Chains A and B, each alone.
Chain A
């Protein structure tokens, strides 16, 4: 997938004030970072841009820091704002032709494949060996109807179940307390986040009925 010139220049204008002024220009740093993030080998990048290996990684981390520190690119999920929730829900309902009018987000987790972590860096290496057969760390994320990611957390190792990983997050901690202002506000007004069967059912997480419909026509229709 290629990025258009307009998009590249738009991103560059956002990142330029946050990239180092000395050394490589902002365009080259951004291009190197994109090439690496797109799956390029550092050897190819060194040859293509005529830079040293250290420059590739320095450019990558400068770029990552610039992206993370830019408020324009910040992840945004204004769930606490009752005036924003209807907008989230309306996009879900219109985009999916859904019978449910209160879905404000979709929650799921992914295990990001990583190399075996060093025992000196973490408490227990085995915690990172996921059930899928590789070392990973668990990332929980919520997206909206436009597939834009609104919230994320990567605090748990790959072995952690999605439900437990979500409970470890600030979001999960809020949802597990009925007296939390956000949770009580959501329960009162009706919006909820849809999730798959891995998560525990609650008043703010809409999950499928366990074990399928079990012969009940409407439970089966709801699960679908």
Chain B
């Protein structure tokens, strides 16, 4: 949606590295402004305002990979939240469309 709205994304961006975060931040704010004129908005304060400024590039360790692992094992990742949500789907008896007719 962002790319469709802003034609400048249709081709490679010609902007110095240091100015990219501010440019993308402006796109996002203008996108919200356009959405506000289609729906009602509320004004609240963002708790993570620092992410909108600065263009530092750094790498930190992926929290899903420990040093003794060769890579991420998606099937080993455990999430109580996911189990709870799957239980909720089962509780409501919801199927993927097209599957219900088979049962």
CB distance from A214 to the nearest CB of B (A): 9
Residue of A1, A84, A201, A211 with most chain B CB atoms under a 10 A cut-off? A201
- CB of B62 within 8 A of CB of A163, answer yes
Contact B14 A149 (CB under 8 A): no
**Residues of chain B lying within 8 A (CB to CB) of residue A184:** none
What is the total number of residues of chain A having a CB less than 8 Å from a CB of chain B?
93
> Does the CB pair B46–A40 fall under 8 Å?
no
CA distance A84 to B45 in the complex (A): 11
Residues B32 and A75 in contact, CB atoms below 8 Å apart: yes
Inter-chain contact A176/B63, CB cutoff 8 Å: yes
Which residues of B (44-94) have their CB < 8 Å from a CB of A?
Answer: 44-52, 54-64, 72, 74-75, 77-82, 85-90, 92, 94
Write the chain A residue with the least CB distance to B30. A67
Contact between chains at B80 and A79 (CB < 8 Å): no
Interface pair B6/A74, CB less than 8 Å apart: no
A196 at the interface (CB under 8 A from B): no
B26 to chain A: closest CB distance in Å? Answer: 4
Q: Is A129 an interface residue (CB 8 A)?
A: no
Name the contact of B90 in the complex, choosing from A3, A68, A218 (C-beta under 8 A).
A218
Assess whether A99 is in contact with B51, with CB atoms less than 8 Å apart.
no
Q: Contacts A4-B37, A114-B12 known; A152 to B25 CB distance under 8 Å? A: yes
Extra contacts besides A61-B19, A68-B25, A210-B74 (8): CB < 8 Å: A38-B6, A39-B8, A73-B29, A112-B13, A113-B9, A123-B57, A168-B60, A221-B96
Show the binding face of B for A, using Cβ within 8 Å.
1-3, 5-37, 39, 41-52, 54-64, 72, 74-75, 77-82, 85-90, 92, 94-97, 99, 103
Binding site for B on A (CB under 8 A): 1, 3-4, 6-7, 10-11, 36-40, 61, 63-65, 67-68, 70, 72-81, 84, 99-100, 110, 112-115, 117-118, 121-123, 127, 134-135, 137, 139, 141, 146-157, 160-161, 163-164, 167-171, 173, 176, 182, 192, 197, 200-207, 209-211, 217-224
Can you list 23 A-B contacts with CB-CB less than 8 angstroms, sorted by A residue number? Answer: A6-B37, A11-B30, A40-B7, A63-B26, A68-B25, A68-B52, A74-B46, A75-B25, A76-B43, A76-B44, A78-B45, A78-B47, A100-B85, A113-B12, A139-B24, A153-B51, A160-B59, A167-B61, A171-B48, A204-B81, A210-B74, A217-B95, A220-B96
